[in-house]
Amino acid sequence: VGWSYDLLSEAEKQLFRRLSVFVGGFTLDAAGFVAAWPEPPMADESVIDAIGGLVDQSLVQVMTEGPESRFRMLETIREYGVRQVEDIDHDEVARLAHAEYCRTLAERAEPALMGPDQGAWMDALDSELPNIRAAMAWLEAQARLDDAISVQTQIQFFLNIRGHAVEGVRRLDAWLELPDLAARSRSRGLALLGAGSLRQNVGDTERSSSMLVESANILSEVGDAWHACMALGIAGATYYQQGDLKRLKCTALASLEIAERIGHSRQISANLGHLSMVAMMNGDHKLAKDLQQRSYQVAEAAGDRWLIAFRSAALADEELRAGNLDRAARHAMEARDHFSELGSRRDLPSAWEQMSRIARKQGNLETAADYAATALSIAETCGYSWSVAWGHLQLGIIATDQGMPEHSLNALTNAMKLFRAKDQPWALADCLDAFAVLAARTGDVEGAARFLGASAARNQETGIAQELWEPDSSLASVVESLRARLGEERFEFLKAEGASLTVDDAVSGALAYTLPASHAALGPDPVKTGRQHGLSPRELEVLMLMANGLSNQQIADTLFLSQRTITTHVTGIFGKLDLSSRTAAVSFAIRSGIA
């Protein structure tokens, strides 16, 4: 490396040193910015000529060509360049230039992430994330915490959508512990906004809501209405998860008032959506539909593709409640496709789960199970426990329909544990309903009645209307069957027993639930199941890891094998099971008790 470096001109050496601070590669724009800083960026033609010499000396590699050409240095070469930066430039100019480029990129990204080009911007930020991380760390080390927090805030939506919530929470938690953020400053307000928003995604709703309310108060005090409006709007989302309709409505109205005053289209649309959910949860479906339509119109006018996808999902729920399954399926697929195009790992699990609910209503249980397994797999990969819980719940409901009580009980128990840990009472009610159907289908009519009573009590506590999402014919038929088998008086008595339970007692009863003796056989042995389908022990091991959300490379790393070997095993699994996709393989593993 040193020999090649010595052959460079002084101008090329300076360019090499400045480019070495990039982590994970750089674009022509980035190179032109950093090479010329603090002067205006170099023109692309000049940058190409300058980088060409470094490419000729094998110090820089071309990763991709075309309008968005991207370049990189091998790590050993980059490390050499960094040492030259430290020895010759004393680290200052190159690091400053790199940090300023990342700050400028984040400033441009924030408004673009709310418009029609948000997908392309998120792709760009994905490529630049290693650089942005490095820049934020350097800014913090230089006692420029305010600038680091600004960068974090400006790319917050990207971090949420693309599945980087856990990383962001750790970084913001560390910053909030610093003495510099003890005062009620704008930076503290922004850090709380980021931490609260990301925590909402991972299901920590209680802490999330308190952070967001404090953030909104601080940002209002310092005159930052734009971000105060966001903090209130996202706080509303946490209250929705908690089933707190009163606070959801209050925060949505407060955020909407600010959003309309300052022209924040995303928060106008989002808060109209929140108010629609309040109306729907209270059983006023006409008002819910009207508000949802207004929300959709705002999103379309702004060209906000993420909100358009979100509203398509809401329209799917609306059609599902009305029993229009074909139209519901079309809207749900539109939402799924939009989220997929945006790479929204946060929202894809709920989109797949929604499609699973629709497929179940259509009687396509195998398809419904495949969709639910896909939702669960994506959610587990991102660490989004809220979506993980819903994935387990949906798989449990489907397994009951399929006559697989052991699998149903296992999935429902997993869902109940997660919902309880995250303190989501209305979700607990849905889970208790699912336990009621399972108990009734396996002959435990008294247990089923108690579960129904416990569910009704949870809904009454939150003020949420029964059968929130759509009429559930299986639940309705269970209620009718229980009334007939137990008699009205006994049925109501047992329901009252269930309703009298505290939340903790109801949850404990569900978690301790065992199937009636005639249905309590153990689930299938994974090894036996695998052998029945001709899978070798190694193929079975690969399938288990695949079902846990690992990629081929991650499986290879875990088993100390090459990626090519793992690819061969995966191909063999597909052939033996007569499957054509990882989604189908994961679904098979979950249904068969292998996962």
Domain definitions of the chain by residue range: 1-128, 384-522, 526-591
Cα gap 332→155, rounded to integer Å? 27
- Amino acid occupying residue 587: S
Contact 335, 309 (CB under 8 A): yes
pLDDT of residue 241: 80
Cα gap 81→192, rounded to integer Å? 37
Question: Is the pLDDT confidence value at 454 over 50?
Answer: yes
pLDDT of residue 527: 46
pLDDT of residue 525: 42
Angle 348-361/365-382 helices, nearest 10 degrees? Answer: 170
The DSSP H or E segment spanning 62 is strand 61-64
Question: Is the pLDDT confidence value at 471 over 70?
Answer: no
**Residues contacting 427, CB < 8 A, separation 6+:** 241, 243, 389, 390, 393, 419
pLDDT of residue 544: 78
**For the residues of 460-525, what is the DSSP string, one character each?**
HHHTPPSS-SS--HHHHHHHHHHHHHH-HHHHHHHHHHHHTS-HHHHHHHHHT----GGG-PPPPP
147-161, 340-354, 412-426, 543-557: the lowest-pLDDT one: 543-557
432 phi, psi to nearest 5 deg: -65, -35
> Are 1-128 and 526-591 in the same CATH fold?
yes
pLDDT of residue 523: 42
Question: Is the pLDDT confidence value at 117 over 80?
Answer: yes
Greater pLDDT, 302 or 464: 302
pLDDT band at 227 (very low <50, low <70, confident <90, very high): very high
252 phi, psi to nearest 5 deg: -65, -45
- Third-level CATH fold of 1-128: Arc Repressor Mutant, subunit A (1.10.10)
pLDDT of residue 271: 96
Question: Is the pLDDT confidence value at 530 over 60?
Answer: no
Question: Is the pLDDT confidence value at 569 over 50?
Answer: yes
**Does the predicted model carry a pTM greater than 0.75?**
yes
Question: Is the pLDDT confidence value at 240 over 80?
Answer: yes
Greater pLDDT, 253 or 474: 253
- Third-level CATH fold of 384-522: 1.25.40
pLDDT of residue 522: 35
- Judge residue 76's burial from the number of C-beta atoms within 10 Å of its C-beta, 0-12 exposed, 13-18 middle, 19 or more buried: exposed
Cα gap 15→225, rounded to integer Å? 42
pLDDT of residue 298: 94
59-68, 136-145, 428-437: the lowest-pLDDT one: 59-68
Question: Is the pLDDT confidence value at 467 over 60?
Answer: no
What's the rounded mean pLDDT across residues 432-454? 94
- Third-level CATH fold of 526-591: Arc Repressor Mutant, subunit A (1.10.10)
The first and second tokens of residue 148, run together, are 């680091």
